[in-house]
C-alpha cells in the first residue's frame, strides 16, 4: 500500500456497541478541542507555563514517535515512503492537527533546515485564540513535539522542531522548523529546553514493553454502526492508475467522433462499463445504447435479433419485429464477443457498416440506419484473421480505434478505490453496515493477482460483505486463495529427488492460482510452453486441463 492509498476509515476500527476504538490496532479515544484546551489551561494555572509546556511537548514527542513505530511495524510499505516526507503531512491532516501547506526536506547538513513545514488551522493555535485571545508567544507545543518524535523515529536520530511563527500570535501561518539536535545553535537552546532531554534513544527503551501489548479487537456478530461512505458509483470508471487515466482520456476523445471502436482486454476487466462511458460522453447520448452478446445466441436467432424480421419470414415469425440495429438508430450498438460471429453474419455486418443500410429478415425493403458500432472481444482477433476465421475487411472496419483495458493487476492504484466502491454498493444492496477494510485485508487485496479482474474483485467483496460479522472486513473474510502460502519444503519426511519437489511445487502453485497456467508460468519465471512441457513430463497435464 502507498501513502496515497491510505484511508482513515481503514486505520480506525470500532468495537460494535461502542466502548472501544483502535487506531492501527492500538486502542485510541476521541477528545475534543475545547476540553483539551481546558486541560491545558488548568495545567498552566496549577503548575505554571514552563512545566505545562514541557509536559505537552514531551507527550507530543512520545505520541509522534509511537505513531511512526506503529506504521513501521504494521505497514512496512507505507513506511518506506515516510523517509521521503510524504507521510507526515498526511498523518497531520488525519489527526486533525491542521492543514499542511508545504513541507520541505533537505539532508539537514547544509544551511537549510532538515524539515520546514507551513501549516494553517492548527488546533492548538485555534484553541489558544478561542480561550485566551491573541497570544504573545507561539502555542503549538504538542505539534512541535509530535513532529519531533515522528521525524526522530523516521530518521533514527533525534530531531527537534521549534515554531518561529504561529497563528496564535497573529502570524498568517504556523511555521515549524526541524533540525538534528546537534545542528541547532545556542540561540535555540531556550526553545529546546522543553524537550527536557527526551530523545530517540531513551524513548525506545521506555516504550518497548508497552509496544509488546497489542490490542486486537474481538469479532462480534452484532453490528451497530452507521457507516458513511462517500464513494459513489458515478465515479466510475475509477482511474487513479496511470494506464487507466490514459485510456479514459482516449475514450473521451474518441467518444466525440462516430468512429467504430474495438474494446479489448481480459475477461472481467469491465468492457461494458467502458462502452457505456463512451456512449454517455458521445453526442449520441440522448439515443439508445443497445447491447448484444454475439457468443450467446445461435446464428439464426442473432440474425433476427440484429436485423429484425417481417411476419412470416420463418416459422414462428408471427409479427414484424424491429432488430437491434434499427432500434439503435442514431445511437450506439455494442457487439460483445464479436469474435464469435459466424462467417455469414460477419458478411451481413460488414454490409451494414459499409452501406449504412439494413434489410429485415424476409423483407425486400432496405432501410437507412445511422448506428455507431462498438465491439468487444477477449479473443485475439488479429490471430483469428490470420487463421481465416474472421474477415480481415470487417476487422479493419471494427478496429478503427482499439481501446485496450489493462488487467486489474496492472492498475494497482485502482484496486482499493474499486473495492471501496463495491463495498458501498453491497452494503446498500445487502443491508449491511461494514465500515471498511482492515489494513491487513487491504494489503491482501493489493498483493493479489486478480486473474478474474474487476468481476472477481466485485465477487470477492460481495462474498466478504455477506460473510463478515463486521465491523470491518478482516483477512479471514477473504477466500482461501488470498491466504495460501506455499510452505517451505522440509526434509522431515525424507529426502526427495529434486524433480519430485519441482513437480509438487508446480502442482501446488497451479492449484493456488485456480489452474491459471499463464499466471503460474509467469510467477514461476518460465514460459507457458515450458510449463506445459513439464506438466506433460510429470504426467499431470490431464489433471490441469
CB of 56 to Zn ion, least distance (A): 13
How near is the Cβ of 92 to Zn ion at its closest, in Å? 12
Give me the residues that bind Zn ion (CB under 5 A), please.
122, 125, 140, 166, 174
Q: Report in angstroms how near the CB of residue 71 gets to Zn ion at its nearest.
A: 24
Rounded CA separation 491/283 (Å)? 68
Q: Which is nearer to Zn ion, 174 or 418 (CB)?
A: 174
Contacts with 478 (C-beta within 8 Å, 6 or more apart), sequence order: 441, 444, 445, 460, 464
In what helix (H) or strand (E) does residue 354 lie, and over which residues does it extend? helix 343-355
Q: Compare residues 122 and 468 and give the one whose CB is closer to Zn ion.
A: 122
CA distance linking residue 164 with residue 140, whole number of Å: 10
> Least separation, in Å, of the C-beta of 117 and Zn ion?
11
Q: How far is the CB of 127 from Zn ion (least distance, A)?
A: 10
CA dihedral 125, 195, 99, 72 (to 10 degrees): -150
The candidate with the shortest Cα–Cα distance to 430, out of 457, 467, 466, 455, is: 466
Shortest spacing between CB 139 and Zn ion, in angstroms: 5
Please say which residue, 78 or 166, places its beta carbon nearer to Zn ion.
166
- What's the DSSP call for residue 261? E
Is 125 or 324 the residue whose CB approaches Zn ion more closely? 125
Between CA 275 and CA 376 the distance in angstroms is 9
Q: Which residues of 303-335 are buried (b: 16+ CB within 10 A; e: fewer)?
A: bbbbbbbbeebeeebeeebebbbbbbbebbbbb
Q: Which three cell numbers stand for residue 153?
A: 523515529
In the complex with Zn ion, the residue whose CB is nearer, 166 or 335, is 166
The answer to whether the beta carbons of residues 415 and 446 sit under 8 Å apart is: yes
Q: Which is nearer to Zn ion, 119 or 217 (CB)?
A: 119
Q: How far is the CB of 138 from Zn ion (least distance, A)?
A: 5
Nearer to Zn ion, 119 or 426 (CB): 119
Q: Give residues with Cβ within 8 angstroms of 335, minimum separation 6.
A: 291, 292, 294, 341, 349, 373, 374, 375, 376
Amino acid at each position: 500500500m502507498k501513502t496515497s492509498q491510505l484511508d482513515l476509515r481503514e486505520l480506525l476500527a470500532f468495537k460494535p456497541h461502542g466502548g472501544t476504538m483502535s487506531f492501527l490496532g492500538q486502542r485510541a479515544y476521541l477528545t475534543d478541542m475545547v476540553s483539551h484546551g481546558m486541560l491545558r489551561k488548568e495545567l498552566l494555572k496549577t503548575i505554571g507555563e514552563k512545566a505545562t509546556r514541557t509536559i505537552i511537548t514531551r507527550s507530543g514527542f512520545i505520541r509522534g514517535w509511537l505513531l511512526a513505530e506503529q506504521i513501521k511495524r504494521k505497514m512496512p510499505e507505507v513506511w518506506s515512503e515516510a523517509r521521503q516526507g510524504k507521510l507526515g503531512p498526511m498523518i497531520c491532516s488525519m489527526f486533525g492537527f491542521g492543514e499542511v501547506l508545504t513541507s520541505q526536506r533537505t539532508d539537514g547538513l547544509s544551511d537549510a533546515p532538515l524539515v520546514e513545514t507551513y501549516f494553517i488551522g492548527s488546533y492548538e493555535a485555534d484553541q489558544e485564540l478561542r480561550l485566551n485571545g491573541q497570544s504573545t508567544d507561539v502555542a503549538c507545543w504538542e505539534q512541535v513535539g509530535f513532529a519531533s518524535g515522528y521525524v526522530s523515529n523516521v530518521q533514527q536520530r533525534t530531531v527537534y522542531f521549534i515554531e518561529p511563527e504561529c497563528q496564535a500570535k497573529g502570524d498568517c501561518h504556523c511555521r515549524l522548523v526541524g533540525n538534528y539536535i546537534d545542528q541547532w545553535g545556542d540561540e535555540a537552546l531556550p526553545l529546546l529546553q522543553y524537550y527536557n532531554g527526551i530523545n530517540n534513544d531513551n524513548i525506545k527503551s521506555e516504550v518497548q514493553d508497552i509496544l509488546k501489548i497489542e490490542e486486537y479487537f474481538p469479532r462480534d456478530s452484532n453490528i451497530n454502526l452507521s457507516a458513511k461512505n462517500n464513494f459513489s458509483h458515478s465515479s466510475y470508471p475509477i482511474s487513479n492508475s496511470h494506464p487507466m487515466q490514459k485510456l479514459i482520456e482516449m475514450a473521451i476523445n474518441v467518444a466525440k467522433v462516430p468512429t467504430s471502436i474495438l474494446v479489448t482486454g481480459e475477461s472481467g476487466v469491465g468492457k461494458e462499463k467502458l462502452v457505456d462511458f463512451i456512449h454517455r460522453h458521445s453526442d449520441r447520448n440522448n439515443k439508445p445504447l443497445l447491447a448484444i452478446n454475439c457468443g450467446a445466441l445461435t446464428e439464426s436467432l442473432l440474425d433476427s435479433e440484429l436485423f429484425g424480421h417481417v411476419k412470416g419470414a420463418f416459422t414462428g415469425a408471427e409479427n414484424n419485429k424491429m432488430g437491434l440495429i434499427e432500434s439503435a438508430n442514431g445511437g450506439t450498438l455494442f457487439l460483445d464477443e464479436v469474435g464469435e460471429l459466424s462467417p455469414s453474419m460477419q458478411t451481413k455486418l460488414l454490409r451494414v457498416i459499409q452501406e449504412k443500410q439494413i434489410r429485415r429478415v424476409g423483407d425486400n425493403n432496405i432501410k437507412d440506419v445511422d448506428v455507431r458500432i462498438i465491439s468487444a472481444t477477449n479473443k485475439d482477433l488479429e490471430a483469428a484473421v490470420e487463421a481465416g476465421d474472421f474477415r480481415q475487411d470487417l476487422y479493419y472496419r471494427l478496429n478503427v480505434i482499439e481501446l485496450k483495458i489493462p488487467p486489474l493487476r496492472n492498475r494497482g492504484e485502482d484496486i482499493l478505490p474499486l473495492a471501496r466502491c463495491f463495498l458501498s454498493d453491497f452494503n446498500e444492496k445487502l443491508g449491511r453496515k461494514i465500515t471498511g477494510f482492515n489494513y491487513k485485508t487491504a494489503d491482501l487485496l493489493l498483493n493479489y493477482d486478480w486473474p478474474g479482474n474487476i468481476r472477481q474483485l466485485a465477487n470477492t467483496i460481495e462474498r466478504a460483505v455477506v460473510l463478515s460479522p463486521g465491523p470491518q472486513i478482516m483477512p479471514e473474510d477473504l477466500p482461501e486463495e488470498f491466504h495460501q502460502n506455499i510452505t517451505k519444503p522440509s526434509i522431515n519426511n525424507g529426502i526427495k529427488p529434486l524433480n519430485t519437489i519441482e513437480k509438487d511445487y508446480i502442482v501446488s502453485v497451479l492449484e493456488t492460482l485456480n489452474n491459471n497456467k499463464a499466471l503460474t508460468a509467469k510467477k514461476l519465471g518460465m514460459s507457458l510452453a515450458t510449463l506445459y512441457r513439464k506438466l506433460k513430463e510429470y504426467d499431470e497435464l490431464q489433471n490441469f486441463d
